[in-house]
């Protein structure tokens, strides 16, 4: 009796294993070798909103406004970089709500541009913003 149950269980287990192997034919190439996804994606362009530092007005989440600050934004990592008074490149640690670029140069000419966050600070990873 135990031998019949054991035999039936082993047959069922073997059938389930065969079904699992053939459920996705795209995991093996034509020769039966496993295929591995290879990514060789190379991004092009700059991660910065504008490559050069631009004069801006920064508004913190607390409402404090900092005027005449040279700013550059890395939109890939959501880092707000600024140039300190002694010429050093720094990254803001305070939560930023809004950045207003003054006289931002674009293809259409010079104009003010505003970047504002939705709920979370601009310099938080994954935060969407409008321009």
Kindly report, residue by residue over 28-39, the tens digit of the pLDDT. 666 767 666 666
Does pLDDT of 66 surpass 90? yes
65-89 per-residue burial string, b: 16 or more CB within 10 A, e: under 16: ebeebebbbeeeebbbbbeeeeeee
Q: What pTM was computed for the model?
A: 0.60
For residue 71, the model assigns a pLDDT of 93
What is the mean predicted confidence (pLDDT) over 30-51? 73
For residue 47, the model assigns a pLDDT of 85
CA triple 30-36-37, angle to 5 deg: 115
Q: 4 versus 86: which is more confidently predicted?
A: 86
Q: 63 versus 42: which is more confidently predicted?
A: 63
For residue 56, the model assigns a pLDDT of 92
Return all residues near 69 (Cβ < 8 A) that are at least 6 apart: 55, 56, 57, 58, 82, 83
For residue 64, the model assigns a pLDDT of 94
| Tokens at 3, concatenated | 């031998």
User: How high does pLDDT run on average in the chain?
Assistant: 78
């Amino acid at each position: 009796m135990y031998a019949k149950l054991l035999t039936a269980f082993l047959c069922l287990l073997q059938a389930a294993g065969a079904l699992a192997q053939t459920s996705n034919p795209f995991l093996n190439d034509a020769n039966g070798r496993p295929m591995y996804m290879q990514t060789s994606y190379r991004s092009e362009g700059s991660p910065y909103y504008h490559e050069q530092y631009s004069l801006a007005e920064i508004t913190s989440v607390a409402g404090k406004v900092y005027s005449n600050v040279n700013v550059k934004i890395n939109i890939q990592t959501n880092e707000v970089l600024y140039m300190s008074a002694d010429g050093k490149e720094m990254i803001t640690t305070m939560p930023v709500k809004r950045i207003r670029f003054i006289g931002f140069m674009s293809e259409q000419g010079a104009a003010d541009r505003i970047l504002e966050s939705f709920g979370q600070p601009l310099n938080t990873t994954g935060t969407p913003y409008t321009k």
